[in-house]
Structure 1
Amino acid sequence: MKKHLPLMLKIISGIIMLQTLFFKFTANEASVDLFTKVAGENEALMRIGTGIIELIATILLFLPKRTWLGALITIGIMSGAIFSHITKIGIIHNNDGGALFIMAIITLISGGILLLLHKKEIPFLNL
């Protein structure tokens, strides 16, 4: 199980982040509405920028010597998503039953566990 847990966490995080990219990059109406609530007139910049950062984080999660960096970026981006849901978007968005919020929490937790599992690889911590 110890060998399989990191892979499972990477897959869970990767699937969640990658499946939202289609909506972000194609200017899906629900995605545009969500990012308009958060960024106003800068919606497109934030929507596409967030998608690019999530793509980079996902790629880094699967690079053995950079998993820690992918996890750290994942934690940052999901913390922002959760904060936005709590302060501006609302837990439930477009009658999704809180699915986006729950996926952000799952991804945040997965990223946190991955970061803990790979803490010895973080160069500036010298553990």
Structure 2
Amino acid sequence: MMKKYLLVTIRLIIAVILIQTLRFKFTAHPDSVYIFSKAGMEPYGRIGIGILELIGAILILIPKTVWVGAILILSVISGAIFIHFTLLGIEVNNDGGTLFFMAISTFILSSIVLWNERKNLPLIGKTF
């Protein structure tokens, strides 16, 4: 029973992290514009990634689609981490690495959720 509540809490934390960053993407905050410009993805990438993050945050909260949300979030966050390592660095605009560590945290938490949902994966879920 405790494990169930812990997993729900983790899913809520993931959704809150993703949703709270959306205001920066959707309002063209200068830091967000800087990041996506540096990655050559401004403005369509910024808005598109924001939409994918919103969809992932919703899907991870719905019991039947948790695994879909976790996979989507892992995909998007993997891209963010890759961009940090290759173009941005750990620290972006003197943020002390906050964005990078939030991405790493979201990746780890989403991995935990996906691992716990592995039996629900179509085609391969039965093998776990």
Give CA-to-partner distance per residue, 1:70-104, whole Å, 9 cap, x none: 00011111111000000001110010000000000
Deviation at 1:6, TM superposition (A): 1.0
Q: Which runs of 4+ in 1 moved over 3 A?
A: none
1:47 to 2:46 alignment: yes
Three-state SS of the structure 2 residue aligned to 1:8 is: helix
Amino acid at match of 2:59: L
Report the TM-score when normalising by structure 2: 0.94
Report the TM-score when normalising by structure 1: 0.95
Aligned length in residues: 125
- Determine the structure 2 residue equivalent to 1:16: 17
Identity among equivalent pairs (%)? 47
Q: What RMSD in Å do the two structures reach over aligned CA positions?
A: 0.8
1:77 to 2:76 alignment: yes
**1:46 and 1:5 mapped to 2: Cα distance?**
33
Amino acid at match of 1:109: I
Deviation at 1:11, TM superposition (A): 1.3
Deviation at 1:121, TM superposition (A): 0.9
Q: Are the counterparts in 1 of residues 31 and 93 from structure 2 also a CA contact under 8 Å?
A: yes
Q: Which runs of 5+ in 1 are unaligned?
A: none
- Once the two structures are overlaid, the 10-residue window that deviates more, 1-10 or 90-99, is 1-10
**2:95 and 2:11 mapped to 1: Cα distance?**
24
Amino acid at match of 1:119: R
The change in CA–CA distance for 1:7 and 1:44 in structure 2 (over 3 A counts) is: same
**1:45 and 1:124 mapped to 2: Cα distance?**
34
- Determine the structure 2 residue equivalent to 1:116: 115
Structure number with the bigger relative contact order (C-alpha 8 A, sep ≥ 6) is 1
